[in-house]
Chains A and B, each alone.
Chain A
Amino acid sequence: MKRAFRKNDTFIPEKILKAPAALLLILTASSSSAAEGAEHVLAHTETLPYFLMLLASFFILQTIRIKKIKIREIPAVRAMEEAVGRSTEMGKPVLFITGLKPIPAVSAIAAVNILGEVASVCASYNTPIVSPHSNSFTMLAAQEEIREAFQKKNNFELINSSRIFFVTDSQFPFAASVNSITNELKPSAIFYMGTFYAESLILTEYGQSQGAVQIAGTDSVAQMPFFITSCDYLLLGEEFFTASAIIKNDEKELRTIAALDAAKIVTMVLLVYSFARSFL
């Protein structure tokens, strides 16, 4: 634990660890005691989300001084490139499903970001990517991401052969259609990223029966058990939102993740306080 506070440490952002203490100081300064300050914060639940968002922005600014941020390894992220490589070896396309929630949803935005990264690996390996969609807006964003990824790698041939198309916005017909595509193309790697509902097990079970490597990422808590049982790897909740930043290894996005860690520590502090209060 001592190593955590060593100077110039590249793993633990020291500034971030100081931030929760700074929050408590602010609370104490604005109230007669830290307990009263926390009480004040918890009493105003409507404004608290905005307070936390401001706090996260403050933490992001704090991370600028950190030289290098290292994020812990997530097995599912490491497996993505391996899955695409497997598809390349087998001469089969990669199938990418972006879930049922349309693009304004944060999960759909995260899914399209990951799609861009997977498409970039596909472009390097000269492997086509197929992506059926249940929403036209998500489809447009996906087309843009894939086109950009292939153009960056100067792989213009595969842009046209990669298929990104709209199927239907109804839940079970979409599942039936994806299963039909899986049966027809026999992809060797299937990615399920986004928000899924009751169709999740229908999709993943069929994909597994076809012998594909399956990697899922979702924020739907109710569907996680099905992805765990039928997929090879799963990005659980928050991991799903950080995956694209980890793949890109983009310093700015990694700083945001580190800053959000600090916001989570604040949440943990409030949780401890709230738990202690329940006994009073």
Chain B
Amino acid sequence: MILDLITLALIICIFSFLFKDNPFFKFTERLLVGVSAGYGFLIIIRDGFLAKFVDPLRTGDLSVIIPGLLGLMFVFTLFRRTAFLAKYPLAFLLGTGAGMEIGPRIETSIIKQISAMGSHVSGPVEIINRTVLFISALSSLYYFLFAVRKNTKFDRFFAGTGIVFMMIAFGATFGYTVMSRISLLIDIIDSVVLRFF
């Protein structure tokens, strides 16, 4: 019951911002930031440092020393003279991260979509759907050409078509998300009403 009351008080504090900025809202906001930062720190120590570095070392796995040393190099940023050493693990992260992301991203965002476009269609509805999909994909892709586009009538029309299709998609996403946010609000109000009234 006490926990429920605290929850209710914090919800009211957050909603008080709708009236105007006030100390109760600020307190709740800072409480949320502080709790999450503290929790995050503990999780990193437990699931990162202890589980992935200390425990393997205890079991004799020396392969963790290299990533451990790379991680340790970040500490040098605290000192002005040795701060440059942090650039090396950062460069390693940037290189591996970009390399690992680009391949799968091309496959999921481009190749799979192109392959799906080639699946057989039958019936007038499917043909219309596929044609709309094709024109929207092609015109949207055309909009994102930067160096080869010319300011001609065709260019403006085709890139404009791409923008129109994108805006329709964005509008649909916006409406859908607003609906889900309102359902979240209803859920919170519902839980408060059920608990206390």
Give me the interface of A with B, judged by CB distance under 8 Å.
Answer: 1, 3-4, 11-13, 16-17, 42, 45-46, 48-50, 52-53, 69-72, 103-106, 109, 136-137, 140-141, 143-144, 167-170, 172-174, 176-177, 179-180, 183, 201, 221-222, 224-226, 228-229, 236-239, 242, 254, 257-258, 261-262, 264-265, 267-268, 270-275, 277-280
Contacts and interface: CB of A to CB of B under 8 A. Distances in A.
Given A71-B146, A140-B90, 17 more contacts: A49-B102, A49-B110, A53-B103, A106-B101, A109-B97, A141-B90, A169-B40, A172-B36, A173-B35, A176-B29, A177-B33, A224-B170, A226-B177, A258-B147, A264-B141, A271-B114, A280-B120
Given A1-B152, A104-B94, A275-B130, A16 B114 contact: no
Contacts of A268: 138, 141-142
Given A12-B148, A72-B146, A173-B37, A49 B111 contact: yes
Contacts of A109: 94, 97-98
7 contacts: A72-B146, A103-B90, A109-B97, A176-B33, A226-B174, A278-B130, A279-B121
Contacts of B174: 225-226, 229
B74 interface: yes
A173 B36 contact: yes
B117 to A, nearest CB: 4
Contact of B97 (A12, A50, A104, A226): A104
Interface of B: 21, 26, 29-30, 32-33, 35-37, 39-40, 74, 77, 86-87, 90, 93-94, 96-98, 100-107, 110-112, 114-115, 117-121, 127, 130, 134, 137-138, 141-142, 144-150, 152, 154, 166, 170-171, 173-174, 177
